[in-house]
Structure 1
Amino acid sequence: MAEIGSHDVVVEVKDTNSTPEIKEEAGSSFSLPFFQKLIAEMLGTYFLIFAGCGSVVVNKNEKVVTLPGIAIVWGLVVMVLVYCVGHISGAHFNPAVTIAFAVTRRFPLKQVPAYVLAQQLGSTLAAGTLRLLFSGGHDQFAGTQPSGSDLQSFVIEFITTFYLMFVISGVATDSRAIGELAGLAVGATILLNVMFTGPITGGSMNPARSLGPAIVSNHYKGIWIYLLAPTMGAISGAAVYNIIRFTKQPLREVVRSGSY
Structure 2
Amino acid sequence: MHHQHQHQVRRAPSDSFRSLRYDTQKRSYRFDNLSAIESEPPRGHRPGSFYGGNGRSTPVEEILRLPLTWWMNSTAKNHFVAMIGEFVGTTMFLFFAFAGTQVANVGAQDSTTTTNATNGFSPIVLLYTAVSFGFSLMVNVWIFFRISGGLFNPAVTLAMVLVRSLDYVRGSLLFIAQICGSLLASVLVRALFPTQLNVRTTLSADTSRVRGVFIEAILTAELVFTIFMLAKEKHRATYMAPIGIGMALFIAELVGVYYTGGSLNPARSFGPCAVTGVWDSEHYVYWVGPAIGALIAVVFYKFIKILEYEIANPGQDADGEDEGVSPPVSRDGWRKKDEEA
Counterparts of 1:230 and 1:29 in 2: how far apart (Å)? 30
Summarize the alignment of residues 53-72 of structure 1 with structure 2, pairs less than 5 Å apart: 53-62=98-107, 66-72=125-131
Runs of 4+ deviating beyond 3 Å: 62-65
Q: Does 1:181 align with 2:240?
A: yes
Between the aligned residues of both structures, percent identity stands at 30
Q: Which of 130, 134, 142 in structure 1 is aligned with 2:199?
A: 142
| 1:95-117 Cα distance to aligned partner (Å, 9 max, x none) | 11111110121111121221101
Summarize the alignment of residues 78-227 of structure 1 with structure 2, pairs less than 5 Å apart: 78-135=137-194, 138-147=195-204, 148-176=207-235, 178-221=237-280, 222-227=282-287
State the partner residue of 1:239.
299
State the partner residue of 1:74.
133
TM-score (norm 2): 0.61
Q: Which of 32, 36, 47 in structure 1 is aligned with 2:92?
A: 47
Q: Is the 8 A contact 2:217 2:292 kept in 1?
A: yes
Counterparts of 2:74 and 2:158 in 1: how far apart (Å)? 19
Counterparts of 1:87 and 1:154 in 2: how far apart (Å)? 32
Q: Is the 8 A contact 2:101 2:132 kept in 1?
A: no
Q: Could you say what secondary structure the match of 1:146 adopts?
A: coil
Q: CA deviation at 1:141?
A: 3.3
Counterparts of 1:83 and 1:233 in 2: how far apart (Å)? 23
State the partner residue of 2:79.
34
Q: Which amino acid aligns with 1:146?
A: L
Counterparts of 2:102 and 2:74 in 1: how far apart (Å)? 40
| Unpaired stretches in structure 1, ≥5 consecutive residues | 1-26, 249-260
Q: Is the 8 A contact 1:38 1:114 kept in 2?
A: yes
Q: Is the 8 A contact 1:60 1:140 kept in 2?
A: no
Structure 1 vs Structure 2 CA RMSD: 1.9
Q: Could you say what secondary structure the match of 2:199 adopts?
A: coil
Counterparts of 2:295 and 2:174 in 1: how far apart (Å)? 16
Q: Could you say what secondary structure the match of 1:30 adopts?
A: helix
| Unpaired stretches in structure 2, ≥5 consecutive residues | 1-72, 109-121, 312-341
Counterparts of 1:110 and 1:28 in 2: how far apart (Å)? 14
Higher relative contact order (CA 8 A, sep 6+): 1
TM-score (norm 1): 0.79
Q: CA deviation at 1:230?
A: 0.4
The structure in which a higher percent of residues are helix is: 1
Q: Is the 8 A contact 1:104 1:239 kept in 2?
A: no
The alignment of Structure 1 onto Structure 2 pairs a total of residues equal to 219
Larger radius of gyration: 2
Q: Is the 8 A contact 1:37 1:89 kept in 2?
A: yes
Q: Is the 8 A contact 1:120 1:212 kept in 2?
A: yes
